Every structure is written in structure tokens, then in C-alpha cells.
Amino acid sequence: MSDQAKTMSTKIPELTPRSKQVAKIMIATAIGAALLGLSSLTLTGTVVALILSTPLLVIFSPAIVPAAILFFLTTVGLLFSSGCAVAAIAALTWIYNYVAGKNPPGADQLDYARMKIASTARDVTEKAKEYGQYVQAKSSGASQ
């Protein structure tokens, strides 16, 4: 019996949470509650501002809607042109690295495709010459 009592008494402290764990849980709960309170205040403020500004939005909507559309289109245009500029700079950088022999990513695939196209072009050129000679021989044979 005393062995069982000793094993139970040694297991009990292992099951109880340590003070550090309790402190971490308490701090996390306090921070979570504070952030939840701030988010509820922000939501409340947003709803109140929307309620107060709705009459102004209704009165000024003939001017606000076109202005919002213009702002949206301008923003989209600027973002698109910026994206195109970034893509162009990236492409030019890649081309510069390729020409300089720095072997950028994808250069091996490009070289393989270039060689494959050149090989196919040579084969087509040879076949066209052979066919041209065949047609010329046929036409000279038919005229004689």
C-alpha cells in the first residue's frame, strides 16, 4: 500500500499546472479580452459613423459616385502601370543576365528550345530543297 501511496503522491504534482503556465494563460486571457473590447468599440464607432453619415451620402451621392468611380479607375490604372513597369524591369534584368552569361533561371530551357527550333528549321529547309529539286527534275523531264 505504501508503494501505491508514493506513486500517487509523485504523480499529483505533475498533474497540477505550474505557476508559469497559469500566468501565461491569465495574461493571454487579459490581452484577448482587451483586444475583443477594442474591436467591439471600433465596430460600434463604425456603425455610429455610418448612421450619422448616411444622410450626407444620400444628399451628395450624385457627386460622390462619379468621384469614387474616377478614384477607383485612377487607382487601378496606376496599379496596373506599376505592375507592368515591375514586369518590364524584371524581364530586362533577366535578359541582361542572360546576355552577360550569368545563366538566370530558365536559361537552359530557352537554349534547348532555341536549338530545337533551329534544328527543325534546318530539317524543313533541307526537305524544301529536296522537294524543289524533285519538282525541277519532274518539270524538266516532262518538257523533254
Closest CA to 95 of 103, 1, 139: 103
What are the pLDDT digits (tens) for 104-116?
898 899 889 999 9
Confidence of residue 24 (pLDDT cuts 50, 70, 90): confident
Mean pLDDT of 76-105: 92
Confidence of residue 25 (pLDDT cuts 50, 70, 90): confident
For the chain, give every domain's residue range.
8-62, 105-144
